[in-house]
């Protein structure tokens, strides 16, 4: 691996050529006592994964990293870090693609021109009394390539801007953005983070479908609650709160 990039203060880098999953490695280090701000960064993943165990194709050239955090908050607040991470990644992508439309797709994807360019995976462990022990924030950002195939809609930063972005440069930009938004979350709570997320929300105010494990529900996407759960207005005017699911647009 080339020389690691200079990172903002408060981060400690673990740079690897290849690892099965940066999230798995970061979780292992966290369970062994790794400090807040430990960053696992790999050039390649042999078993990268997204939500619900889905495969995350991980060729060299893209960004694969996982950050250990230890905020002293109740586990119930952990969901807010999903929005923190999404806003941070969205800002990083927008910084490399000025003038392009960057959107947040609930719960954890970043889109450019409707195509997926990044995904986020959070995994946490708690302590007694419902306090958080650690949370791992995993980020995969398509920088130099993206998966293609029938039914897939994806893109990458290099394709969109016509020039490559090095993974180290993207990592430094992401960590700066994450540090800024985490600070706002810790001092002001979820409202400013939720507002920033909604400002780029894909499908807000529109009819969407949400696929759940045992059903699919349709309604108008009305926003997010204080935990980051999706608020869906059903045809009978009932407001349904959804904590996990897959969103599809018309």
Check which CATH number belongs to the domain holding 65 and give it.
3.30.930.10
Query: Do residues 191 and 212 share a domain?
Result: no
Its pTM stands at: 0.92
- Total number of domains constituting the chain: 2
pLDDT confidence bin for 181, thresholds 50/70/90: very high
Q: What does the pLDDT read at residue 146?
A: 87
Q: How many Å apart are CA 133 and CA 32, to the nearest integer?
A: 12
Tell me the per-residue pLDDT of 217-244, one tens digit each, with 9 for 90 and over: 999 999 999 889 999 999 999 999 999 9
4 part of a folded domain: no
* Residue numbers of the domain that contains 230: 207-249
Q: Which of 178, 199, 220 is a domain's end point?
A: 199
What is the Cα 3 distance to its own chain's centre? 25
The predicted-structure confidence for 104-153, as pLDDT tens digits, reads as follows: 999 999 999 999 999 999 999 988 888 889 999 999 999 998 887 645 68
Cα distance between residue 222 and residue 234, in whole Å: 10
CA dihedral in degrees (204, 208, 50, 175; nearest 10)?
0
Residues 23, 42 within the same domain: yes
**Cβ atoms 61, 145 nearer than 8 A:** yes
């Amino acid at each position: 691996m080339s020389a690691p990039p200079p990172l903002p203060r408060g981060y400690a880098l673990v740079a690897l050529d290849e690892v099965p999953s940066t999230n798995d490695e970061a979780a292992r280090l966290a369970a062994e006592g790794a400090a807040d701000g430990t960053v696992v960064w790999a050039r390649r993943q042999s078993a990268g994964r997204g939500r619900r165990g889905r495969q995350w194709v991980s060729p060299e050239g893209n960004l694969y990293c996982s950050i250990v955090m230890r905020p002293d908050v109740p586990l119930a607040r952990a969901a807010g870090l999903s929005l923190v991470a999404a806003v941070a990644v969205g800002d990083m992508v927008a910084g490399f693609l000025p003038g392009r439309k960057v959107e947040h797709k609930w719960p954890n994807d970043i889109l450019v021109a409707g195509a997926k360019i990044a995904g986020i995976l959070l995994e946490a462990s708690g302590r007694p009394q419902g306090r958080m022990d650690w949370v791992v924030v995993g980020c995969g950002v398509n920088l130099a390539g993206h998966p293609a195939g029938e039914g897939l809609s994806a893109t990458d930063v290099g394709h969109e801007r016509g020039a490559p972005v090095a993974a180290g440069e993207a990592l430094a930009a992401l960590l700066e953005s994450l540090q800024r938004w985490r600070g706002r979350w810790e001092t002001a709570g979820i409202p400013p983070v939720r507002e920033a997320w909604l400002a780029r929300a894909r499908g807000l105010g529109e009819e969407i479908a949400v696929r759940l494990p045992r059903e699919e529900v349709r309604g108008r996407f009305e926003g997010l609650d204080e935990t980051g759960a999706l608020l869906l207005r059903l045809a009978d005017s009932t407001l349904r709160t959804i904590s996990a699911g897959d969103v599809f647009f018309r």
